[in-house]
Amino acid sequence: MAGAYTGPLEQVNDCCWRIPKSYKPGMRVDGLIYADDELIESIRSDQAPEQVANVAFLPGIQVASLAMPDIHWGYGFCIGGVCATDPDEGGVISPGGVGYDINCGVRLMRTELGFADVQPRLRPLVEELFRQIPCGVGGEGRYRYTLKELRQLMAEGPSWLIERGCAVASDIDHTEAHGRLDGAEPECVSVRALERGRAQCGTLGSGNHFLEVQVVDEVFDEDDAAVMGLRAGQVCVMIHSGSRGLGYQVCDDALRELRGAPAKYGIALPDRQLVCAPVESPEGRQYLGAMRAAANYAWCNRQLLMWQAREVFQTIFGSTWQELRMSLVYDVAHNIAKFEEHQVDRQKKRVWVHRKGATRAFPPGHAEVPDMYRRIGQPVIIPGDMGRASWVLAGQDGSMQQTFGTACHGAGRMMSRTAAVKHAQGRRIDEELAARGVIARARSWKGLAEEQPDAYKDVNKVVEVVHKAGLAKKVARMRPIGVIKG
């Protein structure tokens, strides 16, 4: 939808703005957008705040319809949208609150290499990563599964890959939810989705997905960074991908199957893209079974991408990945719905938290944070654009008090892909990135043009809001030095 948002935005504090539920008859709760004075001006430039207001219509929604500072227009929910629904109060599940790329997410792998070790071999490293790791629209990889194997993979997540030599126990321990959502029902996934996913596990895909070689540029919390095994000057690898064609098809199937559900259950919606069904309905359970299966597939996809990256580093540096200490810091989902316990109005409730372009940010002491991170809080990995920076944060208590344990997921687009391509006409984005010290390889000029740094907000400003709001605190910033994209 084109055009700027013209509805109300009331400033709550330096980091938060309110859309009052009086704005539209039918809103059950307020909308809350996390942003500072500068970011809120860019947020007003499209209709994403209107989507925040629309989500407030969903039955069973708790506290508020929320949005992170990387908010921008999306399908149904805005990107950066968060809401929790209570099934005991008629709460619904909405595919638009998860998105087409189910469990799109990001993982960070550290190494013992420093910039001085990698810089002389950076170009051959990037070229070999580009040769060996499949990327691009419809890209297929070397890992191919029968339908039976695919269903097993979706039921078990990346632990299924251990006995196949593509994962180790510590990889699983450092993945959100151990890479497996309980209740996955692969039998709910259509044959069409399965066929699309058979040869795409272990592939990057296109769009904003990437594999980046990065250097830890600055450490903001020495203690927390040490717990995560991070230090200034260290080389890391960041991987951003999701459930590929399988997840897209699961969402597409669900949107079609749920088309009549709102009328069937008497749910009035301001936007048909918010199509939903009660969590406990047959339609709701069908979607949840398939969504969880696709989420587990996505964790396997990122695991296989990391495994291939380890193999490339072994080839280029002549040491095993164990000798290079290429261990997973953490993997987080940012397009997912999960059943979690939260404090709502001084009462503990189990609610369905939809995070669409938003990252879990559980605080110190939370039972779902891995043992080694429990003292500092869950690692929160925030990719930026390929010319500036990415971040590692640690979840804080404020996330549980304000946002159902959630922080931002990235920089957030400022230009549509069409506008970005137009803006790049006559330019060589790869040469511009090279001038910044970044070697970039992509399948097409258009791919780089769509993802140029100018297309995104400054991730440093987005992270500053999350930090000041007490949702997650700064630990370390990484700058890109090599990137491959579809």
Active site amino acids = 409
Dist CA 420 CA 453 (whole Å): 10
Per the DSSP assignment, residues forming a β-bridge with 105 are 241, 333
Angle at 413 between CA 207 and CA 15, to 5 degrees: 140
Dist CA 288 CA 286 (whole Å): 6
Among all chains, which residue has been given the structure tokens 């991170």?
Answer: 373
Do the strands 105-114 and 327-333 form a parallel or antiparallel pair, or are they unpaired? antiparallel
Dist CA 159 CA 171 (whole Å): 9
CA-to-CA separations, 80 to 104, 171, 203, 437, in angstroms, rounded: 13, 27, 25, 30
Q: Are the C-beta atoms of 153 and 199 separated by less than 8 Å?
A: no
Rg of the Cα trace of the chain? 21
**Burial of 14 from C-beta contacts in 10 A (0-12 / 13-18 / 19+):** exposed
Q: Are the C-beta atoms of 247 and 101 separated by less than 8 Å?
A: yes
**Burial of 169 from C-beta contacts in 10 A (0-12 / 13-18 / 19+):** exposed
